Amino acid sequence: MIAPRADVALMEGYHSPQVDVPVRLNTNESPEPPPQPWLDALAAEVGRIAWHRYPDRAATALREAIGSLHGVPATQVFAANGSNEVIQTLLLTFGGPGRSAAMWEPTYALHSHIARLTGTAVAVGERSADFTLDLAEVDRTLERGAPSVVFLCSPNNPTGLVEPEPVVRAVLDRCVARDALLVVDEAYAQFAPWSALELVGEDVPLVVTRTYSKTWSMAAARLGYLVGPTWAVDALHKVVLPYHLDALKQAAGTLAVRFVAEMDQRVARLVEERGRLVAALAALPVDVWPSGANFVLFRPRGRAGADVWQQLLERGVLVRNCSSWPRLEDCLRVTIGTRGEDDAFLAALEEALT
């Protein structure tokens, strides 16, 4: 039997159990489906697709629609099958053998994982005890790793912390000085008070990644994108597989943009619900981190996180078990759900903790 490449053989892969329980609050999806009129429009579109032909390779209508959302031309938009494929294409293009990527833990595990898969070395720095980013540590990591690609995640998954604008600007200045590309992963940006999109420009080595998976209630569609300078988008188009976005997905993403008001309303409801959940958690024996996203990181006091995770599961509530991740000992992450789901989670947690 042929063995996988030596470095792949040593990898753990991505682990997030998909368990069929009544309350699934483990992967930060939207608890609400997209609007029915969107589904109706998409159903009508299915009949108009020329199924015997390859789809528009440049995904022009989709990229124009996304560009109109952010006030940029389609030439500044790159779309792919989820922002994970955006990240993969970035690393295949700007990383790869002989190059490295930097990130600061704890953060989104797929930044370092996909880097390694693409043969990109990783330079991993550490966040401070409160999970904020210390610029002296940033300098040490950049000096040590000399990365071509630098990752930030804001709001950061799994901590929920929003990277303050001065910090992002300071990291960007360092990327300019060092000829590195800054990638700000904004999968949860609509839940946060500011976005690095305002820093994007043709002469700036910055790309901002977004996804349809969370705020757009379209995790099943597998669609993500980035906004950045044209030179970066052009380079990515040389690397990504031809016709990587199927026609139905392009239609789904293009039509979704018509329903931005509904998306904003869903986000507002979730932000309000987040406030209610955090307030309720404050009455329980858990430590909670402030969140600018649609999830909350918490740590049961004096209890093994894995044990509490199991007890929640036995009560039909699935949350993300971060308890074995470096720096996140005993921590769990819960997605903001519907009021009913969150009440079920709170009741189960209260039982598990008493």
Q: Which residues bind ligand PLP (CB under 6 A)?
A: 28, 82-84, 108, 153, 157, 185, 187, 211, 213-214, 224
Residue 223 CA, distance from chain mean position: 12
How far is CA 275 from each of CA 60, 171, 270, 290, 294, rounded to the nearest angstrom? 39, 30, 9, 10, 10
User: Judged by CB, which is closer to ligand PLP: 253, or 305?
Assistant: 253
User: Judged by CB, which is closer to ligand PLP: 55, or 82?
Assistant: 82
Task: Find the shortest distance in angstroms from Cβ 109 to ligand PLP.
Answer: 9
Residue nearest to ligand PLP (CB): 82
Task: Find the shortest distance in angstroms from Cβ 126 to ligand PLP.
Answer: 18
Task: Find the shortest distance in angstroms from Cβ 91 to ligand PLP.
Answer: 14
Instruction: Report the SS3 class of residue 216.
Output: coil
User: Judged by CB, which is closer to ligand PLP: 28, or 217?
Assistant: 28
Angstrom distance (rounded) from CA 284 to CA 70: 41
User: Judged by CB, which is closer to ligand PLP: 163, or 185?
Assistant: 185
Q: What is the largest CA-CA distance in the chain?
A: 60
User: Judged by CB, which is closer to ligand PLP: 216, or 348?
Assistant: 216
Task: Find the shortest distance in angstroms from Cβ 34 to ligand PLP.
Answer: 15
Residue 228, number of CB atoms within 10 A of its CB: 28
Angstrom distance (rounded) from CA 245 to CA 225: 11
E strand or H helix at 181, and its extent?
strand 181-185
Residue 14 · residue 82 · CB < 8 Å: no
User: Judged by CB, which is closer to ligand PLP: 148, or 213?
Assistant: 213
Radius of gyration in angstroms for the set of CA atoms belonging to the chain, rounded to a whole number? 20
User: Judged by CB, which is closer to ligand PLP: 153, or 346?
Assistant: 153
Instruction: Report the SS3 class of residue 245.
Output: coil
Angstrom distance (rounded) from CA 235 to CA 227: 13
Task: Find the shortest distance in angstroms from Cβ 317 to ligand PLP.
Answer: 20
Task: Find the shortest distance in angstroms from Cβ 21 to ligand PLP.
Answer: 20
Residue 23 · residue 345 · CB < 8 Å: yes
Task: Find the shortest distance in angstroms from Cβ 293 to ligand PLP.
Answer: 8
